Amino acid sequence: MFGLFIYAVLCFAVALALISVWSVMRRVSTSGDRPMAPRLLVAWILLLALPYVGVEIQTALYGDQFADQVNEALESGLIEGDTLYYRVQNGLGSQAQLVLVAHVGEDWGGTYRNIYRIRMVREGAQWSLVGVEPVDVSEGPSGGFTIPPYW
């Protein structure tokens, strides 16, 4: 969740910069006394949502191609827990990057969502698994986040 907070703050800073530059470049007579807050809010929401929309579009277009490789990573023991979902962050060209979120039960009775980055390479017409990197897992070395952040 810390990654989501950082992402939201960075999107707000970029939205503020864009709206400020846009306001400076416009003629004063066209802007008048209109407040900047509504434009800033719309720009911030768009900057927050556009990466998620792009990932969802790529998942809808290319997600079925990677089902076998995701199952291979699950069966090989590289991913711990039950898969909730995976998203295609980059599936263009000869390399692909996926984000997988898995649900894990804790010893004390709670739950955790492990996040993994899966890298693949296209060899001919088939995709092959290159590696699985833990991004944020309950046990083991991790501590990263994805852009856009998932949880």
6-19 pLDDT, tens digit each: 889 999 999 999 98
CB of 117 within 8 A of CB of 146? Answer: yes
* pTM, to two decimals: 0.77
Kindly give the residue spans of alpha helices, DSSP state H, lying in 26-104: 28-31, 37-62, 67-75
CA angle 25, 30, 32 (to 5 degrees): 105
Domain chopping of the chain, boundaries: 2-25+36-61, 64-136
**Spatial separation of the C-alpha atoms in residues 122 and 80, rounded to whole Å:** 25
Q: Angle CA(116)–CA(64)–CA(112) in degrees, nearest 5?
A: 25
Residue-level length of the chain: 151
Structure tokens at 115: 């996040």
pLDDT in tens, 8-54: 999 999 999 998 888 788 766 665 667 788 889 999 999 999 999 98
pLDDT digits (tens, 9 = 90+) for 92-145: 788 889 999 988 877 777 888 888 888 999 888 888 888 888 888 777 776 677
